[in-house]
Amino acid sequence: MGIVFNSTAKTITLHTKNTSYQMKTGNLDYLLHLYYGPSIRDTDMSYQIMQYDRGFSGNPYESRDARTFSLDAQPQEFSTQQQGDFRTPSIEVVNSDGSYSFHGKAVNYKIIKGKYNLDTLPAAFAADKDTADTLEVVLLDRVSNVEITLLYGVFEEADIITRAVRVKNLGSRSIRLKRIMSVCLDFLNGADMDLVSFPGRYGQERQVERQHINHHIHTIGSVRGSSSHQQNPFVILCDRSATEDYGKCYGFSLMYSGNFLTEAELDQYDQLRLVMGIHPRQFVYELKPQEVFEGPEVVMAFTEHGFTGLSHLYHDFYRTNLCKSKFVTEVQRPVLINSWEAAFMDFDDVKLVNIAKAAKNMGVDLFVMDDGWFGKRDDDNSGLGDWFVNENKIKCGLHRLVEQINGLDMKFGIWFEPEMVSEDSDLYRAHPEWVMQIPGRHAVRSRNQLALDMSRQDVQDYLIEKVNAILDNANIYYVKWDINRSLADIWSNKIPAERQGEVYHRYILGLYRVMDNIIKTHPDILFEGCSGGGGRYDAAMLHYYPQYWVSDNNHPIDRLKLHYGTSFVYPTCTMGAHISDSGKFVPLETKAIVAMCGTFGYELDATQLNKKQQKICKKQSDLFRKYYHITFKGDYYRLTNPFEDGNFTAWMHVTKNKREALVSAVVTNLTCNGPQEYIKAKGLKPDTFYRINKEKTVYSGAALMNAGIPIPREVPEYSAFQFHLKAVNKQ
């Protein structure tokens, strides 16, 4: 059993294969956090906590003359409000009497076989092979009658611990929740830690930043209504000395697609507290008597093996315990071509079929019709919301168009942006009250579109009906679900004035309801998420959709950074990556090698490629299929850091049994008469011999990892290389 209660010490310890996490009901029944790190067996870790008088820190009244006990200095599982802890709180609640206090005491705990589920939000699940257990710890404030249930999911083999939180109002009058964090993790000594985050912008999502933690609150979050391009709901806390391969790293990945907040605070005693949850900005949630609120799940991982070790834990877990789509394990992802950069909105059925025909020569399996096929949609000023086929463009009708594509022995995919509406649309004319718009004010426009109020059930039902109708009307194999603006006018006509603080969160709940219905009704469809590129790339989206568009930036050299940053937590098999016209001076082969790091496809007008180029593409599509078992199922290694100076960027995938690997490298900078450079492989077996690209000579894993593979010289600019390593039986 991964969860052990010690009745003498009153400790509860969560054990995974290589880690332990411990808490204890301590003084006055406060729930203390004692440890998270490498495995410890049978040790009460409370010996670390030294009680001494800390000037100006409050002492709970019940501790009487004992001035040595202050919550300001105690490591806690759930930091509380107004009891002398002045650090970052996990909760801010306005009680029915108007007070803000929450004094949560541990009153109960339960250990349950299997992994808990959440009623309103996505959560990781236990796969057949997993040993997973749940711990529930109940904290109660006996004055306000607010009850908190802390949920812990322990995945033993995966080395993963999940956390979530439920708030219940046990009182007889309403309370208002203003802040609720899903995780609070206290470190008794955090002075030597760094925080790694993934900021970005449109076209440059998930770049990597590392900062020392100082004596203030480091804040990372989004208030854009979505997890956003600008920040990502994933952070790493690590030793200051941690590198790709060595050092302690803690990961925190929030399964939520709306506003989020991460705060890391180094306090006066060098203790570190990290909290993560829904962003409190404009969040006020009323809970009537007996009502329950759920906070989103945080997936936590710990390793001593640096960033690579951490990424491997997340990649393995997210490939098996996050998304139930059959495309995760059972069905191979197709090579696709998307019409967006080929035609934008200027197309008809004939043009699309011609692109598909040309793409057939390139080994493409799936043709995707992007934006512009519906309503009145010739530019981005109109049409959103009218999810019926524009027969001026698709003159033969959707059914016949799909038949023609299928006739080429290709599958058909389609684009939607369900959450949005154009003012120039039938939907808006019929239902202006369905948009988010503050009474008496004009709504903020972005890409000339408005956001639908996804918190309304009638809006949700409309979208479910319209999207499902299209998907049922033709043989559709793939859906791209896009959203192209941030939310600005947070208001719902259906919600009373005093409850508008719930709209941000209710939008996300409504969105999840719609997505859940559509994917469950269409389990055979492959879904890809998108948000003006990779603006909502988060674990919750990957719960519904097995892949996500990384960025609208298809430049292969920029993509090296985009893939690098994204790969810290999200498996490379989730990364939508295409070859496009972007990167005029970059050879087609290089673009293909970069796209092969992810789901691989094309984003160009195939009719404009000559026979020779189409042939190159065909070869690359075949290589993608050939190496699929390595790139989609193997372990991924970042071999260089594209954010640091260097003349090449390299990465590799290695099969789990280490018998095969694919090393990829792009020369990003040609130096005149420069030194010879080597790609040092990782993850191989030192004593195994590998053949490279069917050459005669074989090389030991030790040689390839320590001396490396020399980068060919005298090559054109932006050349790229793929080295396929195959183990041979030589002793």
**Residue among 186, 265, 419, 482 that touches ligand DGJ (CB under 6 A):** 482
Angle between helices 349-360 and 397-407 (to 10 degrees): 20
CA distance 578 to 594: 8
Question: Between residues 116 and 416, which has the closer beta carbon with respect to ligand DGJ?
Answer: 416
Structure tokens at 98: 């108007």
H runs (alpha helix) in 627-720: 628-631, 701-706
> Minimum CB separation from ligand DGJ for residue 603, in Å?
8
The one catalytic residue among 267, 316, 552, 635: 552
Tell me the C-alpha distance between 273 and 218, whole Å: 10
Comparing CB distances to ligand DGJ, the nearer of 267 and 528 is 528
The least distance separating ligand DGJ from the CB of residue 546, rounded to whole angstroms, comes to 18
Decide whether 150 or 530 has the Cβ nearer to ligand DGJ. Answer: 530
Q: Which is nearer to ligand DGJ, 134 or 484 (CB)?
A: 484
Q: Provide the minimum distance between the beta carbon of 510 and ligand DGJ in the complex, in angstroms, as a whole number.
A: 21
Alpha carbon 564 to chain centroid, angstroms: 14
C-beta closer to ligand DGJ: residue 417 or 502: 417
Angle at 668 between CA 662 and CA 670, to 5 degrees: 120
Question: Who's near 49: CB < 8 A, 6+ residues apart?
Answer: 26, 32, 34, 74, 75, 188
Q: How many residues bind ligand DGJ (CB under 6 A)?
A: 11
H/E element, 353: helix 349-360
The answer to whether 724 touches 662, Cβ cutoff 8 Å, is: yes
Applying CB under 6 A, among 130, 133, 370, 605 the residue interacting with ligand DGJ is 370
- Candidate list 482, 538, 605, 635, residue with the active-site label: 482
| Active-site annotation holds for 371 | no
Of the candidate residues 244, 371, 528, 635, the single one contacting ligand DGJ (CB under 6 A)? 371
Q: How far apart are CA 625 and CA 191, in angstroms?
A: 48
Q: Which residue lies nearer to ligand DGJ by CB, 304 or 378?
A: 378
**DSSP element (H, E) containing 315:** helix 306-320
Min dist. Cβ of residue 447 to ligand DGJ (A): 8
Least Cβ distance, residue 532 to ligand DGJ (angstroms): 5
Q: What are phi and psi of 166, to 5 degrees?
A: -125, 140
Q: Which residue is nearest to ligand DGJ (CB)?
A: 371
Q: Provide, rounded to whole angstroms, the least separation between the CB of residue 343 and ligand DGJ.
A: 11
Residue pair 182/295 in contact (Cβ under 8 Å)? The answer is yes
Q: Which of residues 64-83 bind ligand DGJ (CB under 6 A)?
A: none
Four-point Cα dihedral 325, 330, 332, 337, nearest 10: -20
- Annotated catalytic, 482? yes
Per-residue x/- mask for ligand DGJ, residues 395 to 424, rule CB under 6 A?
Answer: --------------------x---------
Q: Which of residues 340, 504, 537, 723 is near ligand DGJ by CB under 6 A?
A: 340
Residue 479 CB, nearest approach to ligand DGJ (Å): 12
Nearer to ligand DGJ, 87 or 536 (CB): 536
Separation CA 209–CA 648 (nearest Å): 20
CB 440 within 8 A of CB 397: no
| Cα distance between residue 627 and residue 622, in whole Å | 9
**Beta pairing partners, 15:** 20
Please enumerate in sequence order all residues whose Cβ is within 8 A of that of 228, keeping only pairs 6 or more positions apart, or say none.
Answer: 222, 486, 535, 536
Residue (319 or 578) nearer to ligand DGJ, CB: 578
User: Which tokens in the block code for residue 42?
Assistant: 């049978």
Whole-number Å distance between alpha carbons of 596 and 255? 27
Shortest spacing between CB 484 and ligand DGJ, in angstroms: 5
Residue 232 beta carbon to ligand DGJ: minimum distance, rounded to whole angstroms? 17
Q: Binding of ligand DGJ at residue 571 (CB under 6 A)?
A: no
Pairing of strands 450-451, 648-654: unpaired
DSSP state of 459: H
Regarding 484 and contact with ligand DGJ (CB under 6 A), the answer is: yes
In the bound state with ligand DGJ, the residue whose beta carbon lies nearer, of 434 and 549, is 549
Closer by beta carbon to ligand DGJ, 385 or else 683: 385
Rounded Cα–Cα distance for residues 176 and 634 (Å): 47
Strands (E), 7-131: 11-15, 19-25, 31-38, 91-94, 105-113
Sheet bearing 234-239, strands edge to edge: 105-113, 132-141, 146-155, 160-169, 292-303, 249-254, 234-239, 193-197, 209-212
How far apart are the C-alpha atoms of 143 and 97, rounded to whole Å? Answer: 10
Report which of 61, 618, 645, 541 is spatially closest to residue 358, judged by C-alpha positions.
618
Asked whether position 228 contacts ligand DGJ by CB under 6 A, the answer is: no
Q: Which is nearer to ligand DGJ, 86 or 344 (CB)?
A: 344
Residue among 193 and 337 whose Cβ is closer to ligand DGJ: 337
CB 666 within 8 A of CB 677: no
How far apart CA 353 and CA 407 sit, in angstroms, is 10
CB 195 within 8 A of CB 217: no
Residue with the two structure tokens 């001035």: 67
Least CB distance from residue 230 to ligand DGJ, whole Å?
16
Residue 371: CB minimum distance to ligand DGJ, A:
4
- Smallest distance from the beta carbon of 449 to ligand DGJ, in angstroms? 10
| φ and ψ of 42, to 5 deg | 50, 40
Length of the chain, in residues: 731
Task: Give residues 524-553 in contact with ligand DGJ (rule: CB under 6 A).
Answer: 530, 532-533, 549, 552
Alpha carbon distance 387, 292 (integer Å): 36
Give the interface with ligand DGJ as residue ranges (CB under 6 A): 340, 370-371, 415, 482, 484, 530, 532-533, 549, 552
- Residues designated catalytic: 482, 552
